Each structure stands twice: as C-alpha cells, then as structure tokens.
C-alpha cells in the first residue's frame, strides 16, 4: 500500500491558495478542471516532495473546489485519505471479509471507497492499469455515502 493524498473541500480558491501556498509554502504540482462535473482539483506538495509528487502523484494535498456554492457541515469539507493498492479486488475482499462495508465498490477495476470506524472515507486506487471488470464488484451498488 502507498499513501497518495488527502483531500479537503474549499470554498474560495484564492483564499485557500494564499494560505496553503503563500503562508505554508506548499507548491502547486498539478491542476484539473472538470467542466461537466463542475469542480476543480488543485494538488499541492511540500517543497521537498515536489519532484516525488510530480513523478508519482503521491504525497500531495488535494484541494477540491466545487463550482456550485455549498455550505460544508459535519466535516464534509474534509474529503478522504487515498492509498494505492497492488490489487483492488483482493484489498476490497479482505476488507469486506473483516466485516467492513465497501461503500463504493471497484466496479471500474480502479477505485473503491470504504470508511473507518469513525466515518473517515478512505479511497483505494489500483496500482498501474485498471483491472478488468469482475464480479461481485461489477454489479455491486453503492452503499451510503463516501
């Protein structure tokens, strides 16, 4: 397993970049705007981690800006922790066998979400290429939120 990133939702890009970039000294490593999904993702890394972050897309802070105004309550501004795993199907099977719910199954062979006992969302991402769709994951519905 490899630690990838932590995501937090922000309400103001300029104010957030002033804090994380200008005050804390983090460096923007990449940015992704999704017009259809109406969001912007801004990835930042500590100065000593910039080259690693650019090469491996890990050790980053992800700022998620949703274009539609939303008041974040109940910790919704903190999104999730993300880890890369060697085999997403095996990882999810192990987690499920231990009695935990797979809230967003890896139907695409690439991404899944589970929650910690305290309700923290954990994103699991397949290392390398997506795996071919496989049951029981392909037809498994989402459960709750993540």
Q: Please state the pTM of the whole predicted model.
A: 0.74
Judge whether 43 and 60 are in contact, CB under 8 Å: yes
Looking at residues 20-25, what average pLDDT do you find?
A: 89
- All structural domains of the chain, each given as residue ranges with its CATH number in brackets, are 2-66 (3.10.180.10), 76-146 (3.10.180.10)
The catalytic position among 28, 123, 129, 135 is 123
The reply to whether 51 belongs to the active site is: no
CA 106 to each of CA 21, 77, 83, 127, 145: distance values in angstroms, whole numbers, following the listed order: 34, 24, 14, 13, 15
Confidence of residue 17 (pLDDT cuts 50, 70, 90): very high
pLDDT per residue over 62-107, tens digit each?
999 999 988 877 677 788 889 899 999 999 999 999 999 999 999 9
Most distant CA pair in the chain, distance: 48
Percent of the chain exceeding pLDDT 70 equals: 99
Average pLDDT value for the chain:
92
Confidence of residue 32 (pLDDT cuts 50, 70, 90): very high
């Amino acid at each position: 397993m490899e630690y990838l990133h932590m995501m937090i939702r922000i309400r103001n890009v300029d104010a957030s970049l002033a804090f994380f970039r200008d005050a804390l000294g983090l460096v923007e490593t990449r940015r992704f705007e999704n017009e259809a999904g109406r969001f912007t993702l801004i990835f930042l890394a500590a100065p000593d981690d910039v080259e690693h972050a650019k090469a491996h897309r890990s050790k980053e802070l992800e700022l998620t800006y949703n274009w539609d105004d939303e008041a974040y309550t109940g910790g919704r501004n903190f999104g999730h922790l993300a880890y890369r795993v060697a085999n997403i199907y095996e990882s999810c099977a192990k987690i499920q066998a231990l009695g935990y719910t797979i809230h967003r199954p890896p139907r695409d062979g690439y991404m899944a979400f589970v929650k910690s006992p305290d309700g923290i969302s954990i994103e699991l991402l397949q290392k390398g290429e997506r795996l071919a769709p496989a049951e029981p994951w392909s037809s498994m519905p989402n459960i709750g939120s993540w």
